[in-house]
Amino acid sequence: MITENLQKAINDQITAELWSSNLYLQMSFYMAKEGWDGAAHWLAKQAEEEKEHAVDMAHYLIKRGGEAKVSMIDVVPQGWGSYAEVFEHVYKHECHVSELIDKLVDVASAEKDKATQDFLWGYVREQVEEEATASSIVDKIRKAGEHGLFYIDAELAKR
């Protein structure tokens, strides 16, 4: 059985993952409107991935005898500016999500719930990859310059 404190913390993370999904979906819409179909595709896939995280966490809670709850999800930003600014925001957001996951692991540790710690370590490892991917995209955008964005966009479409 999962503790109330840990259940609340996981439910908060479920809501955060769904907010992230909405953020990336809105970014996808923004990039599509701007004519960057590759980035729009990549961001839509990222939105799906964040939703999958929320569902996976909800299923975990239920398996442990807890109750999964989605709280109100705040509105996400609607515009970002340049191609580079969008992906800089993606990188900063992934760093923020890593902090949230780290805090969640700390709650599981404080509750002495080794099963949940083990479950969450998968997300810690995945966040390392997501941060690295976002950082790499930002670096490539900077190196490519404005004329290289067409190449970057074509690469992002392959996801």
Report residue 20 as tokens: 């992230």
d(CA 3, CA 6): 5
Alpha-carbon distance values, 147 to 44, 94, 151, 152 (Å): 24, 27, 8, 10
Tell me the pLDDT tens digit for each residue of 18-56.
999 999 999 999 999 999 999 999 999 999 999 999 999
Which residue, among 151, 140, 130, has the nearest Cα to 38 in the 3D structure?
151
- Confidence band of 75 (pLDDT split at 50, 70, 90): very high
CA angle, 117 as apex, 116 and 120 as ends, to 5°? 85
Tell me the pLDDT tens digit for each residue of 79-117.
899 999 999 999 999 999 999 999 999 999 999 999 999
pLDDT at 97: 97
The long-range contacts involving 58-62, CB below 8 angstroms and separated by at least 24 positions, are 58/14, 60/10, 60/116, 60/119, 61/2, 61/7, 61/10, 61/11, 61/14
- What's the domain count of the chain? 1
pLDDT at 156: 97
Identify whether the C-beta of residue 39 lies closer than 8 Å to the C-beta of residue 88.
no
- Confidence band of 158 (pLDDT split at 50, 70, 90): very high
The yes-or-no verdict on residue 1 having pLDDT over 90 is: no
Residue 44, domain extent? 4-70+78-156
Residue 111, domain CATH:
1.20.1260.10
Tell me the pLDDT tens digit for each residue of 4-21.
999 999 999 999 999 999
